[in-house]
């Protein structure tokens, strides 16, 4: 129940970042030749912002969410950790998807002759900026832990999702930024 309320709260705050994200997508398309579309979606498959003329963005967002769920299971099952990006090469071009912050995904559509190295460089940079924009608007969920002034039971570790012996839950989208985007930056701290 708390998770559902948190998701609703995040959805209400997303429109504030929508205009900034859309502007970022337009700047990306102007910098990168042969990029035919850009789409920022939420982990649940809803469109946050897009600059993808001629693309059914709602359908693309839903399919991206479904593919990412499968990729997360594959990466987890093979011990590869949380996926940061996914690239698909088709007969007429590329589809590249990048983690953008805690709950957003950037999807890029490009023609076959695109400079793939530059696509990755610009895509990763754009995803980092979009992640910052969206995450700045969304509240950070509190860390799980015992209630204040109550001693933690000896079996608390077994009840935390993902802890040893407890069933791990699969997130619907990547939750970590790409390691190269976070190198050299310290995590923000909060004071109570």
Question: Could you tell me if 114 and 35 are in contact, meaning their C-beta atoms sit under 8 angstroms apart?
Answer: yes
Q: All domains of the chain, ordered by start, with CATH?
A: 2-137 (3.30.450.30)
> What is the pLDDT of the chain when averaged over all its residues?
74
Specify whether the CB–CB gap between 60 and 46 falls below 8 A.
Answer: no
Percent of the chain with pLDDT over 90: 46
Please choose, from the candidates 1, 13, 2, 42, the residue with its C-alpha nearest in 3D space to the C-alpha of residue 142: 2
pLDDT value of residue 16? 66
Gyration radius from the chain CA atoms: 18
Mean of pLDDT values over 51-66:
90
Write down the pLDDT at residue 3: 44
d(C-alpha 81, C-alpha 84), whole Å: 9
pLDDT at 137 > cutoff 60: yes
Q: Is 127 exposed, middle or buried (0-12, 13-18, 19+ CB in 10 A)?
A: buried
Residue 169's pLDDT is what?
A: 38
Which pLDDT value is given to residue 69? 87
Distances (CA, A) of 157 to 147, 153, 160: 14, 9, 6
Q: Which of 2-6, 41-45, 168-172 is the most confident on average? A: 41-45
148 has a pLDDT exceeding 50: no
pLDDT score at 95: 94
Is the pLDDT score of 90 beyond 60?
Answer: yes
- Rounded mean pLDDT, 91-98: 94
Strand partners, 87: 96
Mean pLDDT over residues 50-57, rounded?
Answer: 91
Is residue 80's pLDDT more than 80? yes
pLDDT in the model for residue 164: 37
pLDDT digits (tens, 9 = 90+) for 100-129: 998 899 999 999 999 999 999 999 999 999
pLDDT over 50 (residue 84): yes
User: So what's the pLDDT on residue 130?
Assistant: 95
């Amino acid at each position: 129940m708390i998770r559902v309320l948190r998701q609703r709260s995040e959805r209400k705050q997303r429109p504030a970042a929508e205009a900034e994200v859309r502007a970022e997508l337009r700047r990306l398309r102007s910098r990168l030749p042969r990029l035919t579309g850009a789409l920022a979606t939420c982990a649940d498959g809803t469109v946050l912002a897009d600059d993808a003329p001629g693309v059914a963005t709602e359908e693309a967002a839903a399919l991206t969410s479904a593919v990412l769920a499968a990729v997360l299971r594959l990466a987890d099952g093979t011990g590869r950790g949380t996926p940061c990006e996914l690239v698909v090469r088709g007969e007429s071009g590329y589809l590249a998807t990048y983690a953008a912050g805690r709950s957003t995904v950037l999807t890029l559509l490009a023609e076959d002759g695109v400079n793939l190295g530059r696509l990755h460089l610009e895509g990763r940079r754009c995803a980092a900026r979009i992640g910052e924009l969206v995450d700045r608007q969304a509240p950070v969920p509190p860390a799980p832990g015992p209630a204040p002034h109550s001693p933690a039971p000896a079996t608390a570790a077994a009840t935390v999702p993902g802890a040893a012996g407890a069933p791990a839950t699969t997130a619907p989208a990547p939750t970590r930024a790409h390691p190269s985007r976070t190198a050299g930056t310290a995590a923000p701290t909060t004071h109570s």
